[in-house]
Structure 1
């Protein structure tokens, strides 16, 4: 039935009389109302939207119900449904006019490109054409009001900014070393409280992912720590040594601190990101990709500076032997007493230097892969799908880690060797690694770090979606 409505809604769309509006809304409502009881519930909306188009997000029905349910009974009667569509069409009309800059009644390729650019996103002509073709019912590379109205009839967007964000798909996950640029929150998310729910969900997802992949993280740290002590240390032998020394539980040594620092790090990163964006924007203008990258990098540097002592504490726990410390607090007390406050910032410089290449490569590779897919493989939908995005995220995170890994290794050495009477400087460490092992020495421990990327990405994404649904935000 909904497939048939595609041919019905469009011809009627130009008619503005109340009777015809009532008639087409009534047909749509009755088709969605599967059990015929005169109200729509969340399951009927979900099924109806899926039949209407496969490009709806899993949360679209919640957005419609939240906006249209005026009496808060978690159901929609026909009056609520019709009022919502009437108000929604008015908003879509304003959005259409704001896109149609030359007021010729159609949206063209150049106007789509300009809309993205106004939000700081640059797209190619090929990508703009894909967007137009996904909406248009003919071979023309333009969209008229009838096509626009039909396409966004049941899509819960409110203005042109949300429509552009609907077209722009992103994925940010936490894999323990990620310094990805934070995504932007809409004004509605800030006022509704969805922003903090999203941060909570992201924090929980990050903690779960880090905990599940903690053995790989300690494995990496141990290989880095022992790299200058024994050039014969191999991947499997290092793992066997950890098991022999402390048992299975020792594989999670240091993970408590690693999970604990997620909350303050995330809060500081997003708060600093918003502030840096304001400082880099002039006269309220939309900031572009360069400004967002700078803001994200500075936010990452700010958050890392504040939580860096926890990073040192995590490394010390990871390389410790059984019984050396009774826990994180005992470790912190002993380090403070024996080595002083300054030791909590050992390795800070290489850690800070690693932020830019990691975040830059991660973002650039992800956007490159996504744009390539949109230009060459997008057909009926601009959403690549979760599996494609997971593959892109995994590869981009891996590239970022490979590029920044030498600095990561130097940071670990400086954190671990601070107890020596005259600890070497960063330059001394670099020379020492190169003289003993050559260029390959800078990548000792990379294998377990790469192995953990895919499971960490999957665990983080799945946990985020589960927690997001539980917290009830869109």
Structure 2
């Protein structure tokens, strides 16, 4: 028996909720638990994605007794239908009561997800029941009522290129939100969730990050540093806690940088596009790069302090404030912007390649697999994000190494104060081209744990803030 037969009315009444509840409550104890909901939906021929049944019961179970009584059940359905109705209306651009493939294509394009007409039709076919190549409200409701994590709005959020996956670098294109999200508290809660995820992720991978900086600055052909040898050296000099040197300022700079980048991105998009027109992919890239440059300019002194604190010897600085005072007193204000040029130049290859690879992977997945569902799933999302970010890092790494060397120059005894061009020449002359990739091994080693930690923490934080679907 299909859901539409039980759920016959366009706006279901209390009676139809009761009918559905009675069919699902097979043991007649006045509650529907996970097993009953799963069995009931299967018997009615309603497909649901893995984990959806548990999610429905968990989100609707207000008294935490492991099941939904009728009040909880009907409240969940009413609230979920309201969300589905809002989503349906936002996708129905011409207000004809039906969603077609061009409207799906347009909705995805609004968030920078450019897909072909054929791919939009594949997404539509996964919802369309009667083969009309359009989706009306009844089809929409029937498909998504018991699939809380697969509505089109979530698919759109999944597929937009997001900076949620934190790998410790600050060069990614900023997060982007729909107009509807900007008028609610969704955007700032999402930014908080992202910043929290970044803070935990960076703290978890701080030892590898310190090793990367240590190798970038000190490793050479004549001074080969292995991972084991480097860690042993750092622990011997400052104890186990020394592996987290520089992490405090690295975490502290996330919040201001995220906020500045987001606000600047919105402004640059307005300047680059005509009023009322859709923002194109190349305009997003330019706006994102400019926003990244603006945020980096504002917080760059903290980048310099992070490098100095990461490389410090025991007793050299008592903390962030002491580090700032000593740099200012000995080297002047200019020292806080050493390595600024290679850092800003690094944004362009990183963001450009990151975006291009992500778009290619995303479109390849949609073209090949978006037949029965357009929901990519966690592994695909993590895979696309990890690979695209890694490719971006690979392209910008030489500039990152030069930046770190320039930031560290004054703190190294007997070190020359070289310009970017002279430093690059010196590295290539002494160590060859691959000298520009010193420290890339620990950098790559931290990508997968960083992405995994940031994703898990992000999801938990979203739930805590009440924005998880």
Q: Work out whether the TM-score is over 0.5.
A: yes
- Tell me, what secondary structure is at the counterpart of 1:136? coil
Choose the corresponding residue for 1:396, options 388, 394, 405.
388
Quote the Cα distance in structure 2 between the aligned partners of 1:78 and 1:210.
Answer: 40
Q: 1:149 to 1:349 in 2, by over 3 A?
A: same
Residue equivalent to 1:466: 460
Q: Does 1:338 align with 2:338?
A: no
- Tell me, what secondary structure is at the counterpart of 1:232? coil
Say whether the 8 Å CA contact 2:121–2:133 is kept in structure 1: yes
Residue equivalent to 2:219: 227
Say whether the 8 Å CA contact 1:56–1:155 is kept in structure 2: no
Q: 1:106 to 1:421 in 2, by over 3 A?
A: closer
Q: Does 1:205 align with 2:197?
A: yes
Residue equivalent to 2:430: 436
Aligned alpha-carbon RMSD (Å): 3.9
Residue equivalent to 1:301: 293
Say whether the 8 Å CA contact 2:338–2:406 is kept in structure 1: yes
Residue equivalent to 2:156: 165
Moved more, 221-230 or 248-257: 221-230
Say whether the 8 Å CA contact 1:65–1:75 is kept in structure 2: no
Q: 1:75 to 1:255 in 2, by over 3 A?
A: farther
Q: Report deviation, 1:129.
A: 2.5
Gapped regions of structure 2 (runs ≥ 5): 62-68
Mapping of residues 231-246 of structure 1, within 5 Å: 231-246=223-238
Say whether the 8 Å CA contact 2:21–2:70 is kept in structure 1: no
TM-score (norm 2): 0.82
Q: Does 1:426 align with 2:420?
A: yes
Moved more, 212-221 or 182-191: 182-191
Q: Report deviation, 1:440.
A: 0.5
Quote the Cα distance in structure 2 between the aligned partners of 1:299 and 1:444.
Answer: 29
Residue equivalent to 1:70: none
Q: Does 1:448 align with 2:439?
A: no
Quote the Cα distance in structure 1 between the aligned partners of 2:197 and 2:344.
Answer: 25
Say whether the 8 Å CA contact 2:48–2:146 is kept in structure 1: no
Quote the Cα distance in structure 2 between the aligned partners of 1:458 and 1:204.
Answer: 14
Gapped regions of structure 1 (runs ≥ 5): 67-73
Residue equivalent to 2:208: 216
Choose the corresponding residue for 1:136, options 128, 140, 157.
128
Quote the Cα distance in structure 1 between the aligned partners of 2:50 and 2:276.
Answer: 33
Q: 1:29 to 1:218 in 2, by over 3 A?
A: same
Q: 1:42 to 1:269 in 2, by over 3 A?
A: farther
Say whether the 8 Å CA contact 1:39–1:77 is kept in structure 2: no
Q: 1:212 to 1:94 in 2, by over 3 A?
A: closer
- Tell me, what secondary structure is at the counterpart of 1:428? helix
Quote the Cα distance in structure 2 between the aligned partners of 1:41 and 1:302.
Answer: 52
Q: 1:82 to 1:120 in 2, by over 3 A?
A: closer
Q: 1:465 to 1:161 in 2, by over 3 A?
A: closer
Residue equivalent to 1:263: 255
Q: 1:280 to 1:25 in 2, by over 3 A?
A: farther
Say whether the 8 Å CA contact 1:5–1:28 is kept in structure 2: no
Say whether the 8 Å CA contact 2:211–2:230 is kept in structure 1: yes
Quote the Cα distance in structure 1 between the aligned partners of 2:194 and 2:258.
Answer: 9
Moved more, 426-435 or 236-245: 236-245
What is the CA deviation profile of residues 215-263 of structure 1, one whole-angstrom value per residue up to 9, with x for unaligned ones? 1111011111113584534444333322232222211111111111111
Say whether the 8 Å CA contact 2:195–2:255 is kept in structure 1: yes
Quote the Cα distance in structure 2 between the aligned partners of 1:295 and 1:48.
Answer: 50
Say whether the 8 Å CA contact 2:402–2:423 is kept in structure 1: yes
Residue equivalent to 1:54: 49
- Tell me, what secondary structure is at the counterpart of 2:174? coil
Residue equivalent to 1:362: 354
Choose the corresponding residue for 1:98, options 84, 93, 96.
93
Choose the corresponding residue for 2:273, options 263, 276, 281.
281
Q: Report deviation, 1:85.
A: 8.2
Quote the Cα distance in structure 1 between the aligned partners of 2:53 and 2:190.
Answer: 16
Say whether the 8 Å CA contact 2:339–2:402 is kept in structure 1: yes
Residue equivalent to 1:292: 284
